[in-house]
């Protein structure tokens, strides 16, 4: 009988997701937010995502052998709970609870999983339940899915799991070994997230905005070093300013933030609005530098011996979505190959918990080769969605849909592109994308202002043909998931200026025919029409919304913006007011 493992995430009250492994093959994975249409699906469990995964895999509830969940018990006899209690002494109710009731969140999570399994029709007594430590799930999602052979360095940075915040280790022969962990509140990820809140963005959602704002500022103008002590081996976050809990939190409008009034007194009021202005752009630049510098020095301290031996590094956790750091990591002289788990946020721990449970039972997980793991829809289903939609879209089925889409793009039109199975993870990779021609002047501003309704200074990224990658980004390193930025060659800066950021870099997706033949064909047609095998690619959603999933979601977003063209499988969809 095949081994069936259902991975579930949602342990930390955000980004719940589900994943299914059958005998080491990842069959399906999806985030709950895509079905509920609520960003990050906070305080939810992955009911709809799990139902989808079971259906996609052709499984009944009784077929599940193992349920894996990324949150484990933490012993009182280790360092983690005592460290938390000592560092949060100013909130005695939390300190005391960490010592005497330190696994309360674990017990709560088990109850939530049991209720979810009841809803799914899975009998608790019929399955094995694996509670995988949170950072071990992150580590497995990167190491076991990387396809790397031999000894491999493992890095994990996020806000926190049970208590741990940062993980250094290595993988060898499938085994994951811990070298070093840091514990709450000493968290690089939480420091960045706390400062994200101060800069006026939502935690869990705005960290990449801080990263995008940073190149507009000067990191030398303001010294933020008092926020964290670092001696080359240990970090100690100054929780008088950030990573605060309880009464230390700054409160505004009834909401408590993860920074204190002392930060306001020092740096000024919390940023508001959509403008990237002084001094906040410089604060963003200084925070990005702190994050990069300390992360790189910690890699040197704890992983350099392994890296000098093998050159292989894998990275996961929310901090791994910082593509500027990833560029710096890849530039290290002893890093030859870097795999960043494309779903590095907590959503990816559903895959990691399941892959770890599979490996622990003697079934090695397959290498991850793509993230097209969500729902897909036929052209007929798209026709039905159009016919049922209240806005009565105009649509036609075309045999030349790729050529038509490319001609619209080349003429300067944004085109929504809904094809194949939805991506797992935060990046649109040609499944649920809004596309533009990166050589067409002003296309980025148009998409920001009229379609995405987001900040004007936000950068866009390109999808490019594998045949032009070396010329454009001057490397042969794989980049299929938009997880690393690269320096763009001078020639290509002038060829595709709409997808080159302020600092001369681009977060590229290299598209190969084997993983997405239809998207690859579109890029080939763009190369024929424009001379550049590239498109501007951004996720198909409006500000504050999850990426679209179904044809109906795509139509709703289409009619809620100034988009004029939507490609749904073989359909070209327009609006009744549109003149073709």
How far does the chain reach from its first CA to its final CA, in angstroms?
56
Which residues in 419-504 belong to E strands, given as ranges? 432-436, 461-465, 485-487
The arrangement of strands across the sheet holding 534-539 comes to 394-397, 571-574, 566-568, 415-418, 432-436, 534-539, 461-465, 509-511
Percent of the chain residues topping a pLDDT of 70: 99
Q: What is the mean pLDDT of residues 78-102?
A: 96
Strands (E) across 100-243 are located at 128-131, 152-157, 164-172, 175-183, 228-230, 235-237
Token pair of 14 as six digits:
């955000």
Domain ranges of the chain: 4-145+346-360, 188-339, 379-574
Query: Domain spanning 188-339 has what CATH number?
Result: 3.30.420.40
492: Cβ contacts below 8 Å, ≥ 6 apart: 471, 472, 473, 500
pLDDT of residue 455: 84
Task: Read off the pLDDT of residues 312-324 as tens digits, 9 standing for 90 and up.
Answer: 999 999 999 999 9
Digit-coded pLDDT (tens) for 111-123: 999 999 999 999 9
**Sign of the C-alpha dihedral, residues 512, 513, 517, 520?**
positive
Tokens of 272: 């508001």
pLDDT at 205: 86
Separation between Cα atoms, residue 417 and residue 525, nearest integer Å: 15
Residue 295 near residue 325, CB atoms below 8 Å: yes
4-145+346-360 and 188-339: same fold?
Answer: yes
**Residue 215 CA neighbour count, 13 Å, CB half:** 18
Domain 4-145+346-360 has CATH 3.30.420.40: yes
Is residue 577 pLDDT above 80, yes or no?
Answer: no
Residues 355-369 pLDDT 10s: 999 999 999 999 999
Mean pLDDT, rounded, for 68-73: 98
Reduce the DSSP state of residue 41 to 3 states and report it: helix
Residue 580 pLDDT exceeds 60? no
* CATH code reported for the domain at 379-574: 3.90.870.20
- pTM (two decimals): 0.97
| Confidence check: pLDDT of 579 > 50 | no
The per-residue pLDDT for 453 is 82
* Alpha helices (runs of H) in 88-206, residue ranges in sequence order: 92-100, 104-120, 134-146, 188-198
């Amino acid at each position: 009988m095949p081994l069936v493992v259902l991975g579930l995430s949602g342990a930390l009250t955000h980004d719940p997701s589900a994943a299914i492994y059958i005998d080491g093959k990842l069959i399906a994975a999806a985030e709950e937010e895509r079905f509920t249409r609520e960003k990050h699906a906070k305080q939810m469990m992955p009911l709809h995502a799990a139902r989808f995964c079971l259906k996609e895999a052709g499984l009944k509830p009784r077929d599940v052998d193992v349920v894996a969940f990324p949150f484990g018990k933490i012993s009182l006899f280790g360092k983690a709970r005592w460290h938390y209690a000592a560092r949060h002494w100013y909130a005695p109710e939390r300190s005391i609870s960490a010592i005497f009731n330190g696994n309360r969140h674990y017990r709560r999570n088990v109850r939530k999983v049991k209720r979810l399994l009841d809803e799914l029709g899975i009998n608790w007594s019929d399955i094995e339940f694996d509670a995988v430590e949170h950072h071990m799930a992150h580590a497995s999602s990167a190491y076991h899915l990387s396809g790397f052979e031999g000894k491999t360095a493992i890095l994990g940075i996020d806000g926190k799991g049970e208590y741990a915040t940062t993980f250094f280790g290595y993988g060898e022969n499938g085994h994951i070994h811990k070298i070093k962990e840091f514990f709450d509140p000493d968290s690089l990820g939480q420091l960045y997230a706390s400062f994200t809140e101060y800069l006026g963005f939502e935690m869990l959602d705005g960290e990449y905005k801080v990263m995008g704002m940073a190149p507009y500022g000067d990191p030398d103008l303001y010294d933020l070093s008092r926020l964290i002590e670092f001696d080359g081996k240990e970090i100690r976050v100054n929780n008088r300013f950030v990573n605060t809990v309880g009464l230390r939190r700054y409160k505004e409008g009834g909401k408590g933030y993860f920074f204190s009034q002392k930060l306001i007194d020092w740096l000024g009021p919390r940023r508001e609005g959509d403008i990237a202005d002084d001094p906040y752009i410089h604060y963003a630049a200084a925070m990005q530098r702190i994050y990069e510098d300390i992360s790189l020095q910690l890699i040197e301290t704890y992983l350099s011996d392994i890296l000098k031996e093998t050159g292989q590094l894998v990275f996961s956790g929310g901090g791994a979505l910082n593509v500027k750091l990833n560029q710096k990591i890849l530039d290290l002289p002893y890093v030859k190959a870097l795999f960043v788990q494309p779903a590095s946020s907590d959503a990816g721990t559903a895959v990691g918990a399941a892959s770890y449970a599979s490996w622990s039972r003697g079934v090695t997980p397959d290498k991850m080769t793509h993230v097209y793991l969500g729902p897909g829809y036929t052209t007929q289903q798209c026709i039905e969605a159009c016919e049922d939609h209240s806005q009565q879209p105009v649509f036609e089925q075309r045999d030349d849909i790729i050529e038509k889409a490319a001609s619209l793009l080349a003429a300067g039109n944004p085109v929504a592109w809904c094809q194949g199975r939805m991506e797992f993870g935060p990046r649109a990779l040609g499944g649920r994308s809004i596309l533009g021609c990166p050589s067409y002047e002003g296309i980025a501003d148009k998409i920001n202002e009229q379609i995405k309704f987001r900040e004007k200074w936000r950068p866009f990224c390109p999808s490019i043909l594998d045949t032009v990658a070396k010329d454009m980004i001057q490397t042969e390193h794989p980049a299929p998931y938009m997880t690393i930025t690269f320096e763009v060659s001078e020639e290509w800066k002038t060829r595709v200026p709409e997808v080159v950021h302020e600092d001369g870099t681009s977060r590229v997706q290299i598209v190969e025919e084997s993983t997405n033949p239809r998207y690859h064909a579109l890029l080939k047609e763009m190369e024929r029409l424009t001379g550049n095998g590239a498109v501007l690619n951004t996720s198909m959603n409006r500000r504050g919304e999850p990426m679209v999933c179904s044809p109906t979601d795509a139509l709703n977003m289409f009619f809620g913006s100034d988009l004029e063209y939507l490609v749904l499988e073989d359909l070209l969809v327009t609006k009744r007011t549109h003149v073709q």
